[in-house]
Each structure stands twice: as structure tokens, then as C-alpha cells.
Chain A
Amino acid sequence: MSAAIRLLRLGTVPGWMSQAVYHALAETMHSDRPDTIVVCTPNNPYLCLGYFQHSGDVFDKTALQKAGIPVYKRRIGGGATYLDKDQLFYQFIFNNRHVPVSPEKSYRHFLQVPLETLQHFGLESRLRAVNELEVNGRRIAGIGGGRIGEASVVVGNFLFDFDYETMSRVWRAPCPGYREIAREALRQRVYTLKDCAPQLQPDEVEAELIRRFSAHFNQPVVEGTLTPEESQAIVRWRHKLTDLSETECETSIHRPRPLKIAAGVFVHHGACVLPGRKERYVSVLEQDGRIARIMAQDGLPRRLKEMENHPVPQAWAALEALLVQSGIQVESKTWPQN
């Protein structure tokens, strides 16, 4: 392992650069390069897709154009996120050999630092479902990771504030009711430091986070700068991030997927065909192992509402059985196959 971890405090940077930097550092990682931690904040709002997501499946093209927000596609995992100046990013780019192979352990290894930072400020925080940071049982960060070449990358953020309205507006809503359910779930389950600790300033959170790195990784952490090679790679990645085309492997398969709001919270939709070939949709909020809310279009059985508060997966089977009994065919759905 190298002698010291390099810390890059980049301050406020263009949105594209806040993504490009960790891709570039990962791409240029090799055995004589230091493990690096980047701390930065984007200076403009943007949306970011996970590697396996398709823009058309996730975002409403018209709403995107109206909002004028750029969309980037990262090379690492996780779901679509809205990012802006009210967030402080931490990005770990370490040599693969210095990181646990298992994603679960890798996340735990890195996320312990932001977790303890939140706890230091008296916030009741915990790590849930492998990689979700929560305060008071609500999601307070967006986390993703991946292996790029010789590097393991884990990225996350502190949400000081969050633009719920813009995020809700740009989601592609496959059916009526879907956006309403998603917006409500987002407000309920995504938390911000403005809500739980309004006195906290980004500077003091950043200072506390950085103070913890050295002890946690048991290595010196030294502030450094980008090399010319890394700076060039950052510029290259600016263009790669705006390429929203399919993943480079052509066998990727599109299938309808639920919208994940937070750990255990998903918005599903189902396309149903009524006798006479009329199409109708049902939107369903799954929350903590139960169906929390159902919004069904006219023409679908009113009794679908009876499935609310019932546990899944049994409730999925019951919901489908009810539709079939009513002569309705489920053409596509995002809840799991029974």
C-alpha cells in the first residue's frame, strides 16, 4: 500500500467535472499512483444516470428540455440522481488491491467515515441495506460504486438541501398517479441536513469528514493536486459522460423496472389490458415490505385498494389474481414475478 492517501479538495467545480474527476482518477490508476479521496461540490444542477440505466426509461424528455438540466451517465452503479450546489461530494478512488472485493464490504469500508461524521454532529445515523446512509430512518445520501480498471470507486454525498420538485418533475411517469406517488415518497423518505441539523454549515461538515480520514484508513492523508495526465483524462471524460447511449455491450435488455426512492421504497407500475383491449395503468408504492399505496385508473377494480398495507410478495400475487379474476390481462409490470 502506498505511503499516503492523496486528498483533493477541489471546492466548487462545474457539474460535469464533479463526475469526470473520479472516472479520470480511476482510469489512470496504476500501482504507483496513490489512493485518492476527492471532496467537491458541483456549481450547477445536473442529473446523473447509473451505468445500467437508459435515459428514456428514467427521464421525461420534454421535462428535461424544459428544465434545461444536463444529464450525464456515469460508469458506476446505482440509480438516477439529481445533484446540485447544495450537496457535498466525497469520492474514494483506491487501488483494487487496497479494497475488499465484496461490494458490501467495500461500501462499509468507505461509508464508515461519512457515517461517523454525521454521528459526530449528534445525528442518529446508520448504514442500511449495504450502502444507504440514513438519518432518523430516512435516506440522506446517494451512493454508488464500481470497479474501473485497476481502481475501486465509491462515491457519495451529504445532502444539505434537495430540490424535490425538480427531481419529481423530470422523472418519466409511465402512467397517471405515478408521479404523485413518487413525489410523495421522495419527500417522505429522502432527508436533508437542512431538515435535521439546519445549523450545520458545509465547511464544518467537510472539515470533520477530512479530519476522520487518516484515523479510519490508518494512513497519512496528504493534500495534493491533479497531475497533468489526470487533468487531461478529466477533459476526455467530460465527453464520455454526455454519451447517453446504451451500455457498450449490445446484449443489454430493457425491461420495466421500479423507481427506487430509498432502501425498501419503490414505485411500481403495471400496464393492464381490459376486455375490449382498453389499456389502463396501476401505480403502486411498495414501502418497507408492504404495499403502501395504490392508484388505479378508472376501469380497474376498486378492490385493488384493499391490497394496501398488505405484505409483499403475497400482496403482488393477490393483486394479480384480482386483475385476472376481473378478466384483465397484466401486459407489463415492475413488481416481481410471483
Chain B
Amino acid sequence: MAQKAFEFPEELYYDKNHHMWVRKDNSATIVVGIDAIGLDNLGDLAYITLRPEGTVVKKGETVGTLEAAKMTGDVFAPVSGRIIAVNNACVENPGLVNSDAYGKGWLLTMEAVNWEEESSQLVHGDDLEPWIAAEIQRLENQGFDA
């Protein structure tokens, strides 16, 4: 079966457990969204809710809930921190997440409180390519057509 091509911008960090992406600039603020494989698995999003600004979460805790194909699932915090802003455009139109995952489809900005330590558990740089390949293989074994 032909493999799908997934876009994974190199400058981003990826949560390998939950297929979330993280954009980090020089400040403590990070931007968070769902990566290409995560979205391919989910299909078209029908609903999304996100926890409000100011909510403090630990890495791996839920920051929202979504529904695709009448199936609900959680949105997970890729790192610990405080939610600074929620992308209400996506809450109002979840299709935006599918159509522009790394751009207008961002979900949250957060103030990361333990970036130095927790970012080492995210996939980035040279680790990216082998992780994507392994992930496609793993999901293929679960009935995933890549």
C-alpha cells in the first residue's frame, strides 16, 4: 500500500503519545496544535472544546475534548503550564484544524513552566524522521493505512 505523505514542520516539537505539536520561540510561550498523523487518524472534527484561559495543567492532562465521526476523545497538554489563550476560531469551526493544522488551526497558547525538562521528552530535530516512520508502522499494525 502506498504511504501517505505527512507534513511535519522541522522546527516544531511533537508529543509522541498524543500527536500534539508545539511551537516554541524565544519566550516562555508555546503554541499547541494537533499534528498531521493525529488528524489523519481522527478524520474531520465535528466539535472541539478547550479549557479556559488561566487553567493550569500538568503534562499529559486533558486541555480539551473533541469529536470526530461520532467518537469523542481528549486533547492532551504536551507540557505542563498555564493556558494563556484559546483559539476560539477552531472551537467555532473545528474544520479549521483539519484544513490548516500548523497555521490557523492552532488550539492553545501556554506558558510552559518546565520547558527545559519536559521538552526533552518531545520529538524534535534528527529524531523526527525515524519517529514518524515508526509511528506509521505502529498505527498500520492497528489497522491504519499509511
Contact = CB atoms under 8 A, between A and B. Distances in A.
Interface of A: 50-52, 75-79, 99-107, 109, 130-131, 143-147, 154, 247-253, 255
Nearest to B52: A250
Nearest to B92: A253
A101 B135 CA distance: 12
A225 B69 CA distance: 31
A136 to B, nearest CB: 22
B92 A52 contact: no
Interface in B35-79: 40-43, 46-47, 49-52, 64-65, 67-74
Contacts of B73: 146-147
A77 B70 contact: yes
A77 B71 contact: yes
Contact of B86 (A99, A106, A131, A251): A251
Contacts of A107: 69, 71
A102 B43 contact: yes
Given A51-B72, A103-B71, A147-B74, A247 B143 contact: no
A154 B70 CA distance: 10
Interface residues of B, number: 28
5 contacts: A78-B70, A101-B41, A102-B144, A130-B70, A251-B86
A252 B50 CA distance: 7
Contact of A51 (B52, B67, B69, B139): B67
Contact of A76 (B71, B143, B144): B71
A100 B141 CA distance: 8
A102 B42 contact: yes
Contacts, number: 101
Contacts of B46: 52, 77
Contacts of B52: 249-251
B121 interface: no
B142 interface: yes
Interface of B: 40-43, 46-47, 49-52, 64-65, 67-74, 86, 88, 91-92, 139, 142-144
Contacts of A76: 71-72
B49 A131 contact: no
B72 A251 contact: no
A251 to B, nearest CB: 5
B65 A51 contact: yes
Contacts of A253: 88, 91-92
A77 B44 CA distance: 14
A99 B143 CA distance: 8
B68 A103 contact: yes
A50 B41 CA distance: 21
A333 to B, nearest CB: 15
A146 B70 CA distance: 8
Contact of B144 (A79, A105, A130, A143): A105
A75 B142 contact: no
B69 A131 contact: yes
B61 to A, nearest CB: 12
Q: Which 10 pairs show the lowest CB-CB distances between chains A and B?
A: A146-B72, A249-B49, A100-B143, A103-B71, A103-B69, A252-B49, A145-B71, A52-B47, A77-B70, A78-B70
Scoring B40, B49, B91 by chain A CB atoms within 10 A of each residue's CB, the highest score goes to B49
B111 to A, nearest CB: 18
A106 B88 CA distance: 29
Contacts of A78: 70
A281 to B, nearest CB: 23
Nearest to B75: A249
Given A131-B69, A143-B70, A147-B73, A102 B143 contact: yes
A130 B49 contact: no
A102 B43 CA distance: 8
Nearest to B40: A102
